Structure 1
Amino acid sequence: MQIFFSLSPCWGGLITLTCYNCFHNNFFRDAVMVATGNVFTAFFAGFVIFGIIGFMAFELDTTVDKVATQEAGLAFAVYPEAVARLPIALLWSILFFVMLLRLGLGTQFTVLETVVTTIVDLWPHKLRGKNHKWVLLTSTTVMFLLGLIMCTNGGMYVLQLIDTYAAMFSAPDHRNG
């Protein structure tokens, strides 16, 4: 599933962003570089993730399956706990949360551009040019207002609900195989 999140073939993020390339761009080279970089990054991240989960299981004197979850709690509870136990914990904690912020912003820009491009492409004669900024402003405002519910006490439950039933809608069924 991580490949589907990072390359976003089901959500149209890369396809949308490639429409801004030059016409004579070497797209084959770019595709091979992005896919190769993605595979090596995911492979390296797997070592880091399983190392941290194994360390936490050892520290808590429990099994790995009780520490490892696929929920957001892994990123916001287990990892910060492990990072806090490292030498120079403050530096690693800052770097970890800066990384999370950058990942979130990068994903948000891709999703926003996909939504805006889809809306503009539906009515190109009305929305291209100067009206594009109004589509962008309206889309960001609507997404901001919808995202405010994540700031409530039940925000984590809403996040998990959306992640389970809406975000995975176009992705392959990862629970059955």
Structure 2
Amino acid sequence: MEAILSEQKELTQPALSGMLRVRSANQVLKESSETPDPKQYYPHMIVEGEITILFADTGIGKSVIAVQIGDYIARQGVPLLYVDLELSDKQFEKRYRDDGGRLYRFPDCFYRADFTPSFEYPKGVSYEDYFIKSLREAITACGAKVVIIDNMTKLSAADTDTAKATIPIMNEVTKLKHEGLTFLAIEHNKKS
């Protein structure tokens, strides 16, 4: 055993293996210990600089909990963009209005984006690229640090293979994550 251990070389620099970076576990721990711990925007679920996916059957309340999570985060003063690809303005209003007609008051740093009525994406630009461009502009416009996308299924509704169609968008979301943003993505279970 000692012979095997002595033959292992300690990597002082990451070894690159195609798209993978190889380091010793101790090296990872040492390097990570020198960076600040990420904020827990929503305890044990939404962590600064991460992507969380909320995945469940249709109609069980994913959107309601996503808005509640967003409200909680925005009440901490964190600018949040809720990309609502499901509800119309009226449906959203009815959900957050009581029986007496009083409207719920969201924090001022809770922003909601939805599809522009009758939007058309430019010729020669893919739907995915146009969505990401629009998302980046919306994030910049409101200064969001946290983004909730409700729901990813709507981004690939024209494609019969939802997972395949969502991959380019998730790749771009991952790039945005590396730029310091935090994401909660809502997804429906695929019906059989």
Q: Give TM-score scaled by structure 2 length.
A: 0.22
**Structure showing the higher helix proportion among its residues:** 1
TM-score, L = length of structure 1 = 0.23
More strand by share: 2
Which of the two has higher C-alpha Rg? 2
Answer 1 or 2: higher relative contact order, Cα 8 Å, separation at least 6. 2
